[in-house]
Structure 1
Amino acid sequence: MKKGLLYAILASVLWAIVNPFIKQGLSYDFTPMNFAGLRFTSVGVLLFAYTWHKGMWQEIKLHRKLFLNLIFINMFMGYTAFYFGVDFVSGAISSIIMGMTPLINVLLAHLLASNDKLNGYKIVSLIISLAGLLLIVGMGSDGEPLDWKGITGIILLLLSIIFQGYSAISVSEEKGKVNPIFLNAVQMFFGGALIYVIGLGTEGYHSFIGKPAGFYISLGILVFISVFAFSFWFMALQSKGAKVSDINMCRLINPILGAVLSWIMLAGESPTFSTVAGMLIIVSSLVIYFKGAEIVKYIGTRK
């Protein structure tokens, strides 16, 4: 379990870096699906080169339900919604909304996983995180109410969390059956290729040749993150004794680190009362989730 949490923390730290670099990459006259497809297909090629082995096509066929789940639901549906969501809202707000991932996945695990049910402290955590979300939804990064585009972006980000949470439960239920790095290779290559092809049809072709150095730096960092983050994540989900809900709580690292990086790296983005307050409220739910019983016990002894 501790090993699983370590892998989850490593993946979460890497994912927290993602949003500012996506915003930077898209700023170079590039569209969300073209950029996402290019990134993930590149990751898949690198991982396939590392995990290529005899009988892998038979392995894919044997576990086709899991692979199709990851390719279509996790990658295609999840990341299409994610990239458009990130494009519609500020980097800080997208980081904070994605910080809702663990708490939404706690609810999904309760509904779908075989042995991962809610208790009183988890329910309180969900309610508190919802209050933080409502505070963020009501205000933009400049402290003004969000327009329809910003609200749509938040809805898309929430949908991406649900799609990816469902896939995470599927991976956890298949512990030990597929090498996690090979699992990542298959979903990245085929999912990325599907996103790119659909992007060509809906967004048109956008050349990635001759772009400024900043574009390739952003793309390279995102490829590096995807190579390791998802591999660490699948290792965490497949660790013995690990529960999807507990592993997902590590992703509350994302809203703090991701928002701070957005404020530092992206021009025109700075902390406001609403975003900071929403972030603190969401993160406080982590304390209740893991330490709720101890807090109640401590208060009882002080009376």
Structure 2
Amino acid sequence: MKKFLLSTTVLAIFACLLWATPFTAIKIGLKYTTPLQFAGIRFFLSGLIILPFIKDLKYKVLESKKRWRFILWVALLQTTFLYGLFYTGISYLPGALGAMLIGAQPLFAAIMAHIMLKNDKMNWQKIMAILLGLTGVCIISLGRADFVLSTTIPLGVGILILNNIVGSTGNVIVSRDAKDMPPRVLASFSMIIGGAVLMLISIPVENPSWTTIHPNEYYYSLAWLAMVSAFAITIWFGLLQRPGVKVSNLNTWKFIIPIFGAFLSWMILPDEHPDVISIIGMCVIAFSLLLVNFLNRRAAAKKA
């Protein structure tokens, strides 16, 4: 049992590490193409990357036809709506506020799990631990970017809150209803469908070009983003389907994404350096994760 819990923790941290790397690549890609088109191509390619790693692919395709409605629902929630809202909402907000709202996703995951699942209810200790982690995200975000007020803020806030609700609902649905579906199959098919829908939406909304040849850095960034999504989402779907893994507890690991993001910036970007505010925020997040794990272990001990 301890080995199982350890592997879950290690995989969750690895997935979050992967999710901390795309920000620079996204900025590069968006210099050359529109947001929805770029996201659509990214996730379509991610789904294709997973296909060769699915054993008995022909059989799995035939079996998946029985649950095509479920796969379509996951594709729309976890890819089309989630990233369509993400790319749209972030464009209306200053970086710090956007980072804080994205960092609030574990709180929304806990709320949606409390509403939709019988075995994942919130208590005041869990709420305090999640709010503590969110405080750390806010400290890091405010310390790393200028906060500029604009008239588009209310719209952007609303879109990213909806984004958090959609993403959290998708997590709950995968955890609750995908027990009989291999994670690679669900991740691959849902990203291919979701990415294709995003590309179709981009045509009337953005009128993007499909024939332009871009510089090499665009294709490098697209390749990296596709690889990140392929690995991270497959891992995450697998963890959500594991017996005993709660949506609210698993999503608290996403608080470490800004920590990894900050470290990567310090290592890669010449103008980025460690600062006291970021270090304080990281310590607050670390304490919140320790608290969540302590509460989980205590709850497991009581059941035993």
Q: Structure 1 residues 64-73 or 226-235, which shifts more?
A: 64-73
Ranges in structure 1 where 5+ consecutive residues have no aligned partner: 296-303
Name which of structure 1's ranges 92-101 and 209-218 shifts more when overlaid on structure 2.
92-101
- The letter of the residue matching 1:31 is T
Which deviates more, 63-72 or 94-103?
94-103
List aligned pairs for 1:140-179, cutoff 5 A.
142-149=145-152, 152-179=155-182
Superimposed CA distance per residue, residues 130-182 of structure 1 (whole angstroms, 9 cap, x where no aligned partner): 55577689x69543343234554444333222211111111111353001001
Task: Give yes or no for the alignment of 1:104 onto 2:124.
Answer: no
82-91 or 32-41: bigger deviation: 82-91
SS at match of 1:117: coil
* 1:112-131 alignment runs, 5 A limit: 112-129=116-133, 131=135
Which residue is 1:78 aligned to? 82
Give the count of matched residue pairs.
293
Query: Structure 2: how far apart are the matches of 1:221 and 1:12?
Result: 15
Shift of 1:217: 1.2
Partner of 1:226: 229
Name the % identity.
31
Retained in 1: the 8 A contact 2:96–2:146?
no
Which shifted more, 65-74 or 286-295? Answer: 286-295
Q: Deviations over 1:50-105 (max 9, x none)?
A: 43623444433322342122111221111101122344446666455433222321
Deviations 1:203-225 (A, max 9, x none): 00234642112111111110110
Say if 1:249 and 1:133 are closer, same or farther in 2 by CA, change over 3 A.
closer
CA distance in 1, matches of 2:221, 2:212: 14
Contact 1:20–1:261 under 8 Å retained in 2: no
Correspondence 1:13 to 2:22: no
Contact 1:90-1:141 within 8 A present in 2 as well: no
Match of 1:30? 33
2:255 aligned partner, one-letter code = L
Residue identity in the other structure for 1:37 = G
1:132, 1:13 → 2: CA distance? 17
Native 8 Å contact 1:95 1:254 kept in 2: no
Residue identity matched to 2:87: Y
Following the alignment from structure 2 to structure 1, what is the Cα–Cα distance between the partners of residues 61 and 246?
Answer: 29
Greater shift after overlay, 188-197 or 93-102?
A: 93-102
Gaps of 5+ in 2: 299-304
SS in 1 for 2:208: coil
2:199 to 196, 199, 219: 196
- TM-score, structure 1 length as denominator? 0.82
Does the aligned pair in 2 maintain the 1:32–1:83 contact within 8 Å?
yes
Match of 1:250 in 2: 253
How far apart, in 2, do the equivalents of 1:279 and 1:154 lie?
24
- Is this contact kept in 1: 2:256–2:285, CA < 8 A? no
C-alpha contact 2:39 2:195 (8 A) present in aligned 1: yes
Q: Residues 158 and 274 of structure 1: is their aligned pair in 2 closer, same or farther, counting only changes over 3 Å?
A: farther
Find the residue that maps to 1:148 and give its secondary structure. coil
- Which amino acid is 1:171 matched to? V
RMSD after superposition: 3.2
Distance 1:75 1:7, change over 3 A: same
Cα shift readout 1:112-142 (whole Å, capped 9, x = no counterpart): 11211112211212443555577689x6954
Moved more, 105-114 or 62-71: 62-71
Instruction: Select the structure with the greater relative contact order (CA < 8 A; seq sep ≥ 6).
Output: 1
Q: How does 1:19-98 map to 2 (within 5 A)?
A: 19-26=23-30, 28-51=31-54, 53-89=57-93, 94-98=98-102
- 1:54 match: secondary structure: helix
